[in-house]
Structure 1
């Protein structure tokens, strides 16, 4: 730090907050640390009784906090993200469209471990709306060593740490299984729930089929929807381990590969995810357990946004849902603004 006369401070960086007191009006920081002194600030500073102030001396080895924050922005910001102007060493990113947030957790942890910087984000795989705050980052001290920021650059590499994957416009087919529904003995109360969840993303059920509990019949209905060009197929009913629940077998027979049957999430443990692949098309086929029909938040709510971005969800991602995969059953339900799936 260096003490200089206020009149000589234009263009210099303030090293500490300066409080302005106007009786009956205000008592607050008029200028904050890191502020670059402007010509119009001089009369104000003099009126505050500041003939001398402490400013930052740049010896070429350090960066101002705002310069450091700008480097953090460059390493994190990706398409679909808007950045705020640097202020007191802090920059925030917000979503420019709806989608699912992704962050490279390992690289982020390594960068935060360097010290003197902080990058904080919303949860991994969080579904967001346009305008949602995604991340905030800042340099903690007023100035930071250039060498430290170079270390940050090296750890970050040449790919942004964050990604906002937009939703795709998809055609969705639903197969409702169960002889009791197929024969008209009971009303189908599952399909309206699926329709409501899709509507939240601007989608609808484009094709709907009913099937009895014969495995080959359900398989044929799934394959029919695939032939009609559905981008996603959802199957309801018959997903438990009871001997007469044959929907998982039908999905296995129709799919190219099964990612998992069973996930460490409650409610939703009997969820099945598979993919049908042919000639460049990749269509997710999901078997939805009965809890989706009556629980406000289940495994379906965790994976649906990611499926709607076209993501090929790996099994190890689903395995990791065990931590945070227990719904607390809050009333009213606050999902996704809760710990479920985080």
Structure 2
């Protein structure tokens, strides 16, 4: 790579993209790497503030920014991802299907700790759509030393792929609605329609809804019946507070399920309960799920449909970022809620 004055660059091959920025209007590539500079290009380059350019001279110990960024993307990308071609030294990663973005944050931090490396991602455990940009990488100089790139490549793949997108699984869903006031017909249930709305994007197949009074035995019985009938997820609504008549947690425990957590450091959603009856998740949903647009349910649900078994430590970690701002116009997931 050699630096030459623009006025002497006619006939030479540009070794990097050059960007044109018009404030508030445009940002894009004005000159492409590999482009042969013509005499007519020189005034444009000078207008862009370029008095010198770099031309490429091959050197075994250096890797060009485009090749380096492309190699980093390929090593970091796991199942569910594809990469773009380099543009202005940057390579983007995009999902090939809708799903749950998984990022090994420790690996990511180790890569970014290396000199001259930059890799940015969306947040771990975020729901992403096919084709959206979820990560981007580049190197800082126009060429990076080969040994640095090789170290970054090794980190990217040594503990498995750094970045993946898990597809959602269309689970069979059973809904147990508790509450003597709903069972007796005094009030109409409002939970089931919300549940259907929130689970439909993940492909949920609703087996049915049963309504039971505040009776731990009946709650436990209906959970078991759904699981015996093939349910892969059971949601139990209502009766999750500390009032004496709210016995849903008792009913879930009575199934013999492994209780991961009753209570979570998330607002709204602190009275949430997660348990597993064998491999089947059983979730106790507090009343806020029916009234608030975004709650802990929206943080847990994508992970369940991606086939993940959630641990207590992961519930605990939701506290950092677990306070919803309850904005007038909800922007979730493009906000801080649930992002540690």
Q: Considering the TM-score relative to the shorter chain, is it more than 0.5?
A: yes
The answer to whether the Cα contact below 8 Å between 2:17 and 2:88 also exists between their aligned partners in 1 is no
Matches within 5 A, 1:20-35: 30-32=30-32, 35=33
What's the offset of the Cα at 1:48? 2.7
Equivalent residue, structure 2, for 1:22: none
Flag the 1:181–1:63 CA change in 2: closer, same or farther, 3 A: same
Q: Which secondary structure does the structure 2 equivalent of 1:322 belong to?
A: coil
Alignment of 1:233 with 2:239, yes or no, is no
Q: Which secondary structure does the structure 1 equivalent of 2:63 belong to?
A: strand
What's the offset of the Cα at 1:78? 1.6
Equivalent residue, structure 1, for 2:183: 182
What's the offset of the Cα at 1:190? 1.3
The answer to whether the Cα contact below 8 Å between 2:174 and 2:231 also exists between their aligned partners in 1 is yes
Matches within 5 A, 1:164-243: 164-243=165-244
What's the offset of the Cα at 1:73? 0.9
What's the offset of the Cα at 1:251? 1.0
Aligned length: 321
What's the offset of the Cα at 1:18? 9.0
Q: Which secondary structure does the structure 1 equivalent of 2:327 belong to?
A: coil
Structure 1 stretches lacking a partner, 5+ long:
20-25
Q: Which secondary structure does the structure 1 equivalent of 2:134 belong to?
A: strand
Equivalent residue, structure 2, for 1:23: none
When normalised by structure 1's length, the TM-score is 0.88
What's the offset of the Cα at 1:46? 2.3
Report the Cα distance in structure 2 between the residues aligned to 1:193 and 1:59, rounded to whole angstroms: 61
Alignment of 1:147 with 2:147, yes or no, is yes
Alignment of 1:113 with 2:113, yes or no, is yes
Q: Which secondary structure does the structure 2 equivalent of 1:233 belong to?
A: strand
Flag the 1:269–1:29 CA change in 2: closer, same or farther, 3 A: closer
The answer to whether the Cα contact below 8 Å between 2:29 and 2:88 also exists between their aligned partners in 1 is no
Which deviations, in whole Å up to 9, do the C-alpha atoms of 1:215-250 show, x marking residues without a partner? Answer: 111100100101110110000011112222111111
Flag the 1:7–1:336 CA change in 2: closer, same or farther, 3 A: closer
The answer to whether the Cα contact below 8 Å between 1:195 and 1:204 also exists between their aligned partners in 2 is no
Flag the 1:53–1:228 CA change in 2: closer, same or farther, 3 A: closer
The answer to whether the Cα contact below 8 Å between 1:2 and 1:56 also exists between their aligned partners in 2 is no
Report the Cα distance in structure 2 between the residues aligned to 1:18 and 1:169, rounded to whole angstroms: 45
Which deviations, in whole Å up to 9, do the C-alpha atoms of 1:149-202 show, x marking residues without a partner? Answer: 122123224321011010001110000001111111111111111111122333
Flag the 1:54–1:95 CA change in 2: closer, same or farther, 3 A: closer
The answer to whether the Cα contact below 8 Å between 1:273 and 1:286 also exists between their aligned partners in 2 is yes
* Match for residue 336 of structure 1 among 322, 333, 336: 333
Flag the 1:73–1:297 CA change in 2: closer, same or farther, 3 A: same
Flag the 1:130–1:53 CA change in 2: closer, same or farther, 3 A: closer
Flag the 1:81–1:120 CA change in 2: closer, same or farther, 3 A: same
Flag the 1:286–1:18 CA change in 2: closer, same or farther, 3 A: closer
Report the Cα distance in structure 1 between the residues aligned to 2:151 and 2:234, rounded to whole angstroms: 46
Equivalent residue, structure 1, for 2:49: none
When normalised by structure 2's length, the TM-score is 0.88
Calculate the aligned-residue CA RMSD, in Å: 2.3
The answer to whether the Cα contact below 8 Å between 2:16 and 2:88 also exists between their aligned partners in 1 is no
What's the offset of the Cα at 1:143? 0.6
Report the Cα distance in structure 2 between the residues aligned to 1:169 and 1:185, rounded to whole angstroms: 34
The answer to whether the Cα contact below 8 Å between 1:232 and 1:283 also exists between their aligned partners in 2 is yes
* Match for residue 294 of structure 2 among 290, 294, 297: 297
Report the Cα distance in structure 2 between the residues aligned to 1:54 and 1:70, rounded to whole angstroms: 20
The answer to whether the Cα contact below 8 Å between 2:92 and 2:134 also exists between their aligned partners in 1 is yes
The answer to whether the Cα contact below 8 Å between 1:255 and 1:274 also exists between their aligned partners in 2 is no
What's the offset of the Cα at 1:204? 4.4
Q: Which secondary structure does the structure 2 equivalent of 1:60 belong to?
A: coil
What's the offset of the Cα at 1:8? 6.2
Equivalent residue, structure 1, for 2:315: 318
What's the offset of the Cα at 1:7? 7.2
Which is further off, 124-133 or 220-229?
124-133
Structure 2 stretches lacking a partner, 5+ long:
21-25, 44-51
Q: Which secondary structure does the structure 2 equivalent of 1:133 belong to?
A: coil
Report the Cα distance in structure 2 between the residues aligned to 1:249 and 1:307, rounded to whole angstroms: 23
